[in-house]
Amino acid sequence: MIRVNDLHDVPWREGLTVQDVLDQLKYSYALITVSIGEDVIEPEHYADTTVPDGCAMTVFHLAHGG
């Protein structure tokens, strides 16, 4: 299981990528910072970075609105 923002649990599977997690949670906002543990993942690596089982992932959204 992947824990995202200490809020959502996403079932893990072999080959699960960062992009898969974002798609599942419908995180489509452009101004986000994704981290697995302490490591920031750059957008060009979302599709080819696999997520380890049991990890804590942070998807930080910048404020919008106005």
Partner 1 sequence: MAPRKIDITINDQKVTVLEDSMLIKAVLGAGIALPTLCYHKDLTPNGTCRLCLCEIEIRGRKRLVTACNYPVREEMTVWTKSERVLKHRKVLAQMYLGRWPNVPVVQDVARRCGVTDGSAFASDLTDPNPKACILCGHCVKACEEFIQERILDFAGRGILRHLTMPFGETDPHCIGCTSCAFVCPTGAIQVVEELNHPVDPNLIRRHGMKVNAEMATLDKVQCRMREVGTANIVEVMDKYDLLPVNNYKFGSHPETYKVDSKVLKERYFTQNSPDGCWFGCSMSCAKAVDGYELKTGPYKGQRVTVDGPEYETVGACTNMGCFDPDFIVEFNFYCDTYGIDVISAGTGIAFVMECFEAGVITKADTGGLDLSFGACDSVLELLHQMSRGEGFGVEVGQGIRWLKEKWIREGRGDAQFIRDVGMEVKGLEFSEYVSKESLAQQAGYSMAVKGPQHDEAWLIFMDMVNNQIPSFEDKAEALYYFPLWRTWFGLHGLCKIVWNDVAPADNKKYPPQQAAKIPEHVDNYFKFYEGMTGEKLDEEKMLAQSARVHNLQRLMSVMFGFGRREDDVPPYRAIGPVTAEEYLSRAERYDGQLKSVLGLDPEAMTLDEKRAALRAHREAQYQKVMDAAYARRGWTRDGIPTKARLRELGIDLPELLALAAD
DSSP state of 55: -
Check binding of 15 to partner 1 (CB under 8 A).
Answer: no
Selected binder of partner 1 within 1, 14, 39, 63 (CB under 8 A): 63
State how far the Cα of 8 lies from the Cα of 54, in Å rounded to an integer: 12
Write down the least CB distance from residue 25 to partner 1, Å.
9
Query: Quick one: residue 54, left, alpha or beta (phi over 0 = left, psi -120 to 50 = alpha)?
Result: left
Check binding of 26 to partner 1 (CB under 8 A).
Answer: yes
DSSP state of 35: E
Check binding of 28 to partner 1 (CB under 8 A).
Answer: yes
Check binding of 50 to partner 1 (CB under 8 A).
Answer: no
- Main-chain dihedrals φ then ψ at residue 30, nearest 5 degrees: -75, -35
Write down the least CB distance from residue 10 to partner 1, Å.
14
